[in-house]
Copies of this chain bind each other. A is one copy, B any other.
Amino acid sequence: MTIAARADARHNRARVLEAAQEAFAAEGLSVPLDVIARRAGVGAGTVYRHFPSKEALFEAVVHDRIERLADELTALLATPEAATGEAFFTAFSSTVEQAGFNKALCESFVSTPKAEVAPEARRRYGIALAALLDRAHQAGAVRPDAQISDVMALMAGCVAMEAHSATPGRATTLVLDGLRTGHSPLPTVTKHVTKPGYRNETREDPAARCEECGTAIPTSRTGRPPRFCGGACRQKAHRRRATG
């Protein structure tokens, strides 16, 4: 009985979280709680049983989201790209992109509320990102004076930038170039995509892929189309051809 009840309660909690996830992602903090409760198929009181306030629910949602991002980063740490520092840039871009699709995440990054939202998860995320940054530093891919706190701030900024840029990824690329040791070409607008949920901004083609490592490469409409993500891969491919 008790166990069943508990299972039930856990189930309800999960439903509320999921509904809140969607609602907050689509509309941000401004969704009324009733709406979330109704979408979750529970009463408003039930929401309050599990989360002491609306802010707490929001925090839980954001926490959950950032945890996933942290997991993603941890996974990236184990890839070979971590060593070259590329994993750091991938992580950065991915976070920014996801926040672009999720108003809750976006608000939690951009706004400066009284107290930081989901500090726990944010710390875990920060640690993972710091590890990637460290690797990138070791690889010399990132300017040495850039600290993790800088990176976190830049990230918040990039989320805001992307919301103001017609070409997704362009602003982030620019910012990342400020972190890199060298510059990379900027992406350009290619076509319009309607995003699910809340943002209607322009999105481009599925990016071309590096022939060597498969990394997405931003394409420009003019000039010779790029085949590699950078000099390293071009060199590698050249060696292979020469060897082949």
User: Which of B156, B174, B185, B201 lies in contact with A161, CB distance below 8 A?
Assistant: B156
CB A149 to nearest CB in B, in angstroms, measures 7
Let me know if B112 and A164 touch, CB within 8 A: yes
**Majority secondary structure of chain A interface residues (helix, strand, loop or mixed):** helix
Let me know if A201 and B153 touch, CB within 8 A: no
Rounded to whole angstroms, the CA-CA distance of A217 and B182 in the bound complex is 24
Question: Which segment of A77-85, A128-136, A165-173, A235-243 sits at the interface?
Answer: A165-173
Complex copy number for this chain: 4
Q: Identify the closest chain B residue to A53 (Cβ).
A: B220
Q: Which residues of B contact A166 (CB under 8 A)?
A: 149
Let me know if A201 and B154 touch, CB within 8 A: no
Of A175, A179, A183, most buried by chain B (CB within 10 Å of CB) is: A175
A146 within 8 A of B: yes
A26 within 8 A of B: no
User: With contacts A112-B163, A201-B114 known, is A175 near B157, CB below 8 A?
Assistant: yes
CB A198 to nearest CB in B, in angstroms, measures 10
Of A114, A153, A162, most buried by chain B (CB within 10 Å of CB) is: A153
Let me know if B154 and A174 touch, CB within 8 A: yes
Q: Identify the closest chain B residue to A180 (Cβ).
A: B178
Let me know if A156 and B160 touch, CB within 8 A: yes
Can you sample 27 A-B contacts with CB below 8 Å?
A110-B160, A112-B163, A112-B164, A112-B199, A143-B183, A145-B220, A146-B174, A146-B186, A149-B165, A149-B166, A150-B171, A150-B174, A153-B170, A154-B171, A154-B175, A156-B161, A156-B163, A157-B157, A157-B158, A157-B159, A157-B161, A157-B164, A174-B179, A175-B175, A176-B178, A177-B178, A178-B178
A residues lining the B interface (CB < 8 Å)? 109-110, 112, 114, 143, 145-146, 149-150, 152-154, 156-166, 170-171, 174-179, 183, 185-186, 199, 201, 220
